[in-house]
Structure 1
Amino acid sequence: MGALLTLQLLSIVSPAYACGCGAMVHGTGTQLSVRQETSAVRWDGRGEEIVMSLTVDGNAPKAAWIMPVPHRATVTLGDRALFSDLERATAPVHRDRDYFWPRDGDWPFTRDHHTAGDSAGAAPGAAAPPVGVVDRQRLGPFDVARLTATDPEALRSWLETNGFRLPPALSTELRPYVDQKWEYVAVRLAPASGDGPLTGTLDPLKLTFASERPVYPMRLSRLARTAQSLKLYVVSAHRMEPDSTIGGTPPKVLYAGKVPLEGGELARFAGVSYAAEGDTPYLTALSQSFWQPSAITGDHELRRAADDTPVRRVIWTDHLMRVAGVPAWLLTVTTGLAAVATTALLLVRAGLRRRRVVVPPPPVVVPPPLG
């Protein structure tokens, strides 16, 4: 059974060229930030399919996004419904529970109060030119170029010649990908209307490429100057986990369980078989923070977890326990006090009986016999 993973990166700000699985660049004198990046990746043991949606803010009329991939990629438009299905499938459940003793907000205290918590193509050969243009195509508002590169400086030069200004620091961070003979997808972003600033949620892009292991490029996030937040969804035959923290906090499991047996884009993307429930793939949701992006050591790789223990976030709503509308604690305390008072009264009465003075009856005088 294949594997699916989804990443959601929040709070991605200056510099704009550091965003989770790629690099965002824009012209000088303009501003651009990626407010939210959502990606879904499916891996079947031989290749990956990544669907990505970007939400951007700023005054830049155009920008470029560069994504390194291990093999030649096919690029098409994706479906936004996939991300809605993922959020719905991993959403926390709401449950009620009772508590006995009064808390702040309960009588004899003050305001009402509730608490909530969680339960817990082939790569280019050595003889390839420094930069090769595989093809260039128009997808909706996107101008997409698929590139091969064996020299990061040559890649930078080509991008600048074609309107993509690559910051010098990116050349250094791209070197490991060039050494591994990865390829790149360069996307020119522009408003759908053709004018005005580049803002809002862009149409999703789908990248498909060969891959011997599930991997998601994260190395370029080392260039970020602010903390990065990662949300990762994984669908496979079993529960999955990252191979390492790659410089972030230990990943936290938000959800683990079977992919819901229902229709929708998630089911189609995950390749769910409805012939038997045993064929249903496993869905895992993880979150992770990178407080110091410069400490990121590489790309995320996934492996099978030690077990398939299910996990589901729970939002609890607590209620004061009542009996016939009366707080149970009050009934218990009142009953207890009454029992104590009754016992004390009985003990007092018993003590009084033991202390009472018993007056002996007068002696019986037997008269002497007559005669």
Structure 2
Amino acid sequence: MVTSRLFRLSVALLLALPALLLTSPASACACGGIASNDATARVHSETSILSKRGDRETIDMRLSMTSVAPDAALLVPTPAPATVSAGDAATFTRYDEISAPRVETRTHWWIPSSDTDGVTAGAAPPGGASTGAPTVVQRVTLGPLEAAVLAGGDVDGIRKWLSDNGYRLQPKLVRALAPYVGQHWSFVALKLASPTPLSGPLDPIRLTFDSSSLVYPMRMSAVADAPQYVTTYVVAEHRQQRIDADAAGQSVTTVYAGRIDDAYLTKITTAVARPDTITTDFEFARAPTDDPVAQVTYADEDVRIFGVMAGPFLTAVGIVLAVLATTAVLLVVTRRRTVRRR
């Protein structure tokens, strides 16, 4: 009787084993406005490096822009007249490598990994506006680009100078100049120096200018008709954060923060779903702490035996072995008792 029950129990567990295993871009880019007859001109990606020594700020911009028209141009406002020069592509590459997510391997024994597994972790004060045409402070050619630094003038004077020099501004972009002109900001006008349309990444451009605070021009992006995505590397003595009024309403993420050489590098990404809500430029200041930040990307590995997750498989095998061992022991005990009774 006992032997028969144990045999039926073992068979039931073995039959249940399979079930156990089976159920276990835009008319504006972020930094300024696009001036072109090509309505489809777009900046696809924008990454900038910001640093400041004393009252002198430096912005290195790396843009990837596409336009089918040869008159594509970009207008970037700065708090004071900028000095324009070539940026350093190697610095962007280095910062990209330093801030790249750290890859760690996770081993899964019980539940299969899914596709969702992955990464876890100031301007000058307002005053009376200048009138008339702007003053051309600097002209420089950087590869396929020609740059002109404009200072002073009123909106009509700046618009006329840009038009006379081959820049085609849409009316909404002209309106976006007004707040900067009213605060006596200057402008860097960048356009193609060759008849070949833009396609792909441009060599980095460096803008150096006087500024009382660490800023990144954004207000002209309010006229953009597509979401804006900006990556900024801020190099300073300490970790940095956005402190402008718009930061709270935008998707701002510190994806990396850590010391490099004798400075602190902070990488901040910003996504603006509705550009028409932009009212301020980016402004950066020291964060409350210098705590490091690094993202981690997990590479998931499933441990399987005969195509089945190892955890449930080994558990089921263990149960079966335990049942068989118990059955064998009970059979031996039962037989001994039977022999003794005889």
Q: Which amino acid aligns with 1:339?
A: A
Read off the aligned partner of 2:224 and give its amino acid letter: A
84-93 vs 51-60, greater mean Cα deviation: 51-60
> What are the equivalent positions in structure 2 for 1:111-190 lying under 5 Å apart?
116-120=117-121, 129-140=131-142, 141-190=144-193
Q: Which of 281-290 and 127-136 deviates more? A: 127-136
RMSD across aligned positions (CA): 3.4
How big is each residue's C-alpha offset from its partner over 1:147-181, in whole Å with a ceiling of 9 and x where there is no partner?
12352222212222222222222233222212221
Q: Name the stretch that deviates more: 142-151 or 339-348.
A: 339-348
Shift, 1:224, TM fit: 0.8
Paired residue type of 1:88: E
After TM superposition, list the pairs within 5 Å mapping 1:171-320 onto structure 2: 171-191=174-194, 195-244=195-244, 246=246, 248-259=249-260, 272=261, 280-320=262-302
Using the TM superposition, name which of 171-180 and 342-351 deviates more. 342-351
What residue ranges of structure 2 are gaps of 5+ in the alignment?
1-24
Q: Work out whether residues 57 and 210 of structure 2, in 8 Å CA contact, stay in contact via their aligned partners in 1.
A: yes
TM-score with structure 1 setting the length: 0.72
Is contact 1:251–1:286 with CA below 8 Å preserved after alignment? yes
| Structure-2 change in CA distance of 1:340 and 1:237 (3 Å) | farther
CA contact (8 A) 1:252 1:288 kept: yes
Secondary structure of the corresponding residue to residue 131 of structure 1: coil
Partner of 1:34: 43
Which one-letter code corresponds to 1:312 in the other structure? A
Distance in 2 of aligned mates of 1:302 and 1:165: 32
For the residue of structure 2 that corresponds to 1:338, the secondary structure is: helix
Secondary structure, counterpart of 2:181 in structure 1: helix
Report the Cα distance in structure 2 between the residues aligned to 1:310 and 1:81, rounded to whole angstroms: 23
1:65 paired to 2:66: no
Question: What TM-score do you get using the length of structure 2 for normalisation?
Answer: 0.78
Give, in angstroms, the shift of residue 295 of structure 1.
0.8
Residues paired across the two proteins, number: 311
1:22 is aligned to 2:32: yes
Partner residue in 2 for 1:96: 105
Q: 1:321 to 1:24 in 2, by over 3 A?
A: same
- Secondary structure class of the residue paired with 1:117: coil
Q: Is the CA contact 2:89–2:204 (under 8 Å) kept in the aligned structure 1?
A: yes
Which protein is richer in helix relative to its size?
2
User: What SS does structure 2 have at the residue aligned with 1:246?
Assistant: helix
125 and 132 in structure 1: CA distance in 2 versus 1, 3 angstrom threshold: farther
AA in 1 matched with 2:287: A
Identity of paired residues, percent? 37
In 1: Cα distance, 2:117 partner to 2:129 partner: 61
- Amino acid of the residue matched to residue 24 of structure 1? I
Looking at structure 2, the residues matched to 222 and 30 of structure 1 have their Cα atoms a distance apart, in angstroms, of 17
Unaligned runs of 5+ in 1: 1-11, 105-112, 260-271, 273-279, 359-371
Cα distance in 2 for partners of 1:125, 1:332 equals: 77
What's the CA shift for 1:229?
1.6
Q: Is the 8 A contact 2:32 2:75 kept in 1?
A: yes
CA distance in 1, matches of 2:329, 2:156: 97
Q: CA deviation at 1:212?
A: 1.4
Residues in 2 aligned to 1:313 and 1:245: alpha-carbon distance in whole angstroms = 26
Query: Any idea what the Cα deviations from partners look like across 1:293-323, whole Å, max 9, x if unmatched?
Result: 1011210111222222222222212224589
Kindly indicate whether the alpha-carbon contact (under 8 Å) linking 2:36 and 2:71 is maintained by their aligned counterparts in 1: yes
Q: Deviations over 1:257-306 (max 9, x none)?
A: 222xxxxxxxxxxxx4xxxxxxx322222222111110112101112222
Corresponding position of 2:92? 83
1:364 counterpart residue number: none
Deviation (angstroms), 1:20: 0.8
Q: Deviations over 1:46-104 (max 9, x none)?
A: 22111123322222112322111111211112222222112111111221122221427
Alpha-carbon distance in 2 for matches of 1:282, 1:190: 37
Rounded to whole Å, the distance in 1 between the matches of 2:45 and 2:301 is: 37
2:10 is aligned to none
Amino acid corresponding to residue 60 of structure 1 in structure 2: A
- Name the aligned partner's letter for residue 159 of structure 1: L
CA distances 1:226-253 after superposition (whole Å, capped 9, x unpaired): 1112222222222221114626533122
Structure 2 counterpart of 1:53, which letter? R
